[in-house]
């Protein structure tokens, strides 16, 4: 039986393949699970260009160009950082689309941000937006909830998008 994450990933891979578009990921809280879900689908090598697991702030700086000043100003778990991560990996890989994740999985809070707080960034040809989530549960529930929510949001944006640009 297909899980919701697998079904979403299948739809995303199929749609991107038909449109000849590509995707990349910049993941923190999800630790590569978004990219893993996409690459678990046969044919994903046609659309998935790669990703960065930027779990530490230093990796966000080094690999994505997120500045210490921005992290200090808005906090690493914020819409601005999620969007910046998505835009940075999109630019770095030259993908059509990008998904990013940042948040606090728990069990406790981090820098005053409660466990279960997640920001997803989605960047595409005509969009760059953040989506805030609040997911209750233990660490693994938060992380898997973030993956499913990110893929679900992206699938809705992708299927409602009129973009058919090749990148």
Of 97, 105, 92, nearest in space to 151 by CA? 97
Residues 110, 134, 157: CA angle, nearest 5 degrees:
120
Q: What is the pLDDT of residue 166?
A: 41
What predicted TM-score, i.e. pTM, was given to this entire model?
0.94
Name the residue ranges covered by the structural domains of the chain. 4-160
pLDDT digits (tens, 9 = 90+) for 29-40: 999 999 999 999
Distance CA 131, CA 54 (A): 19
Q: What's the CATH number of domain 4-160, 3.90.950.20, 3.30.413.10, 3.40.640.10, 3.10.20.30?
A: 3.90.950.20
Angle between helices 57-64 and 79-93 (to 10 degrees): 40
pLDDT for 165 equals 44
pLDDT for the residue numbered 2: 78
Instruction: List pLDDT tens digits, range 134-154.
Output: 999 999 999 999 999 999 999
């Amino acid at each position: 039986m297909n899980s919701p994450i697998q079904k979403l990933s299948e739809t995303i891979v199929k749609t991107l393949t038909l449109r000849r578009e590509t995707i990349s990921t910049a993941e923190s809280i999800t630790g590569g699970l978004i990219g893993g879900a996409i690459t678990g689908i046969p044919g994903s090598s046609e659309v998935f260009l790669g990703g960065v697991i930027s779990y530490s702030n230093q990796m966000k700086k080094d690999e994505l160009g997120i500045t210490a000043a921005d992290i200090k100003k808005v906090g690493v778990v914020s819409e601005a950082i999620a969007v910046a991560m998505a835009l940075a990996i999109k630019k770095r890989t030259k993908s059509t689309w990008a998904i990013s994740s940042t948040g606090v999985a728990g069990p406790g809070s981090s820098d005053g941000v409660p466990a279960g707080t997640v920001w997803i960034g989605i960047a595409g040809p005509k969009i760059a937006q953040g989506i805030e989530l609040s997911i209750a549960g233990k660490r693994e529930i938060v992380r898997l909830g973030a993956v499913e929510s990110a893929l679900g949001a992206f699938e809705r944006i992708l299927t409602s998008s009129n973009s058919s640009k090749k990148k």
